[in-house]
Amino acid sequence: MPQYILALDQGTTSSRAILFDHGGHIRGCAQQEFRQIFPQPGWVEHDANEIWETQLAVARQVLRENQLSPAAIAAIGISNQRETTVLWDRVTGKPVANAIVWQDRRTAAACDALRQRGLADLVQAKTGLELDAYFSATKIQWLLAHVAGARERAERGELAFGTIDSWLAFKLTGAHVTDTSNASRTMLFNLHSLQWDDELLELLDIPRAILPTVVPANARIGHCHPDCFGAPVLLAGLAGDQQAATFGQACHHPGMAKNTYGTGCFMLMNTGHTAIRSQNRLLSTIGWTLEGRSGADTTYMLEGSVFMAGATIQWLRDCLQIIQHASEVEALAGSVADTGGVMLVPAFAGLGAPHWDPYARGTLVGMTRGTGRAHIARAALESIAYQTADVLQAMQADSALPLSELRVNGGAASNNLLMQFQADILGVQVVRPAVTETSALGAAYLAGLAVGFWSSPEELATHWSMERRFEPAMAAAESQLRLANWRRAVERSKAWQFDNSWWFLCPGSYSMCDDQITLLFVKYRRIPYLE
Ligand SMILES: Nc1ncnc2c1ncn2[C@@H]1O[C@H](COP(=O)(O)OP(=O)(O)O)[C@@H](O)[C@H]1O
Ligand SMILES: O=P(O)(O)OC[C@H](O)CO
């Protein structure tokens, strides 16, 4: 009798394999980091083979370390970094190029061009997404245009596209599939018909032949090749990591929300069986499609995606070198009572929701002669909470659903200083569960539902338990004042990066004061980009 579900949690910076027992408890875990490749400023790539090799290695490791045979595993579920785009040869299984990662900004200008063609509204209406370089569609276009022969091979049906779930499912089983949650991040999937959208495919000139078959999140996909684990194991669950985390946090009912503090920050609120069209630049996205006895049922989400959260702490570690480990930031930030007026806007990869400015850049303001590393560390931590506050404000404006508490997970959710500040700034209770590996847990739950290891989402909800609750303790006037200052800082970071040729349009601006430079810049830059 199989006792475990194995979750493969393929994140932006590491591949993890986690074993869950019937109570939803972690019984084993293995993790490997892999290379982040930065070929040019603003570009981020992964080697898809390295993703596969590290993922397979940790899966084998966790079985070995726990002395388990494949027969002990009822099913495997995958939770994955979303949007990251792989194009591979169907016959050889070889990627035609490095994967283009969700953080990669190389297609920002291509998105501007699509916006100029008036496609932003159509994209939002059909896919629920902002027209942004974040999503897979323009990354696919880039690969088809820049890899020699790729377009012709794609049109002949020789190449396959997939996000990381598809890639791993292909390597494990040979199937070319994705689930609705991952499909909904490509900017090619119709949120309402739950099909690839032919009009968008035509407008973006992407051949249908490269796309995977879309399946429910709890689909029984197929058995892994025996050489993966020595005997076949069923792959039966797929979900984008943020949707998986929402499922793992048991946010099964409309109005329930979670925020994941990983590389980025992703707040998702369950909006039930309705896709809400955001008026405040949030994403409407698919949470999960569950196949049940009476057919398939799709649950939708509103999402606010913030690009830099825990990655800002990595920047303190790797670039400023003011800490050696991420865990040290709490003590350093806690060594000062406040930031001394310093604000850090970590727009290192532009700004995501609700600003969607790919040309924003990291900005540190408010420094004085007394500013030290602790103030900057504290400002970095606080920036994570402020960005979340911007998202929550947009979410509450979009949805009539009141938020009673925010469930949290992800690496940086272990930081108590950050979690308390988050509760203070939001004026909402922040609740950390006992199991914080909720992306992996969600994938395990989906796979377990597929094979009858668990019976229903209601049963799964009984597993959820709280580790700690953070109550808001800051006066509302104080949090409002801080948020107002944050928003001033955000304005300074916006639309910073631009083509050098713009300087020739406004040569006098070199010697002007800051505000005038900004005015001139916004005027020239925003005409093509934002309007
Ligand atoms: N104690 C901490 N305080 C703040 N950030 C932390 C802490 N521990 C880890 N992090 C951050 O959390 C991130 C890792 O979280 P994780 O959920 O594993 O991310 P991902 O799935 O995106 O790879 C890193 O960016 C790291 O800097
Ligand atoms: O790898 P994570 O956990 O940072 O998640 C990345 C997101 O899925 C990107 O949309």
**503 located within any domain:** yes
The token duo for 301 is 């989400």
Q: Cβ of 294: how many Cβ atoms within 10 Å?
A: 6
**508 located within any domain:** yes
**376 located within any domain:** no
Domain residues for the domain of 509 are 498-531
Which residues contact residue 172 at a Cβ distance below 8 angstroms, ignoring those fewer than 6 apart? 76, 224, 225, 228, 235
Quote the pLDDT of residue 68: 94
What average pLDDT score do residues 505-510 get? 36
Residue 508 has pLDDT above 70, yes or no: no
* Ligand 2 mutation target, pool 13, 15, 102, most atoms within 8 A of CB: 102
Quote the pLDDT of residue 511: 31
**178 located within any domain:** no
Query: Could you tell me which of 410, 460, 466, 29 has the C-alpha nearest to residue 218?
Result: 460
Contact 206, 198 (CB under 8 A): no
Give me the number of domains the chain comprises: 1
Q: Which ligand is nearest to the CA of 378?
A: 1
ipTM of this predicted complex?
0.97
The 10s digit of each residue's pLDDT in 379-405 is 999 999 999 999 999 999 888 777 889
Instruction: Output the CA–CA distances (angstroms, integers) from residue 275 to 112, 393, 487, in the order listed.
Output: 26, 19, 29
What average pLDDT score do residues 482-491 get? 97
Residue 524 has pLDDT above 90, yes or no: no
Q: Where are the beta strands (DSSP E) in 397-516?
A: 405-409, 429-433, 466-470
More confident residue, 164 or 526: 164
**338 located within any domain:** no
Quote the pLDDT of residue 243: 97
The token duo for 257 is 């929300």
What average pLDDT score do residues 492-497 get? 91
**215 located within any domain:** no
The 10s digit of each residue's pLDDT in 304-339 is 989 999 999 999 999 999 999 999 999 999 999 999
* Ligand 2 mutation target, pool 79, 266, 285, most atoms within 8 A of CB: 266
Record the pTM.
Answer: 0.89
- Which of the four pLDDT bands, split at 50, 70 and 90, describes residue 498? low
**Measured distance CA(354)–CA(130) in Å, rounded:** 10
State percent of the chain over pLDDT 90.
85
- Mean pLDDT (the chain, rounded): 91
Phi first, then psi, for residue 319 (nearest 5°) are: -100, -50
Distance between Cα 313 and ligand 1 center (Å):
8
**510 located within any domain:** yes
Q: List pocket residues of ligand 2, CB cut-off 6 Å.
A: 11-12, 81-83, 102, 240-242, 262-264, 305
Summarize the chain as % helix, strand, coil (round to 5): 40, 25, 35
Scan for tokens 């847990």, then name that residue: 441
The 10s digit of each residue's pLDDT in 16-36 is 999 999 999 999 999 999 999
Q: Is 507 helix (H, G, I), strand (E, B) or coil?
A: helix
More confident residue, 482 or 42: 482
**509 located within any domain:** yes
Which atom in ligand 2 lies closest to the alpha carbon of residue 102? 9
Residue 501 has pLDDT above 80, yes or no: no
- Which of the four pLDDT bands, split at 50, 70 and 90, describes residue 504? very low
Distance between Cα 309 and ligand 1 center (Å):
8
Query: Could you tell me which of 82, 515, 470 has the C-alpha nearest to residue 287?
Result: 82
Q: List pocket residues of ligand 1, CB cut-off 6 Å.
A: 11-14, 262-263, 310-311, 313-314, 326-327, 329-330, 410-412, 414-415
